[in-house]
């Protein structure tokens, strides 16, 4: 991903101006935060969400971050485990 210095430090999602993903398949770009039910930020702020098991690292210590976080559980991206809410309707026996 490419971003200005104002981007947030989270590994699975980023807020900031001028965010761009290196590969469109690795991230979801959100240009209109309010359309996703998120609070509005200043003009030009976007959100970038990592997909699957991907995460964003800074190029300053690229190898260190990759070795630390590769294969670990990171919350906050866009995966079925984080988006699907299981619901069950249970009724006692004998009641209708």
- Which residue shows structure tokens 């190898």? 63
Q: CA 33 to CA 47: how far, in whole Å?
A: 7
Q: What is the pLDDT along the chain (96 residues), one digit of tens a residue?
A: 777 777 877 777 888 888 888 888 888 888 888 888 888 888 888 888 888 777 777 667 777 777 777 776 665 556 666 667 778 888 888 866
Residue of 61, 62, 56 lying closest to 2 (CA atoms) = 56
**85 phi/psi in degrees, rounded to 5:** -110, 115
Is the CB of residue 16 less than 8 Å from the CB of residue 10?
no
Q: What is the pLDDT of residue 52?
A: 77
Give the domain ranges of the chain.
13-83
- Both structure tokens of 94: 């004998």
Helices within the chain (DSSP H only):
62-69, 80-83
* pTM of the predicted structure, to 2 decimals: 0.60
């Amino acid at each position: 991903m490419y971003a200005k210095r104002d981007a947030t430090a989270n590994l699975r999602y980023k807020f900031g101006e001028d965010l761009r993903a290196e590969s469109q398949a690795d991230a979801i770009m959100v240009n209109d935060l309010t359309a996703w039910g998120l609070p509005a930020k200043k003009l030009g702020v976007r959100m970038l969400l990592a997909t699957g098991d991907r995460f964003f690292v800074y190029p300053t210590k690229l190898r260190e971050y990759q070795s630390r976080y590769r294969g670990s559980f990171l919350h906050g991206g866009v995966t079925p485990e984080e988006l699907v809410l299981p619901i069950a309707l249970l009724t006692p026996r004998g009641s209708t």
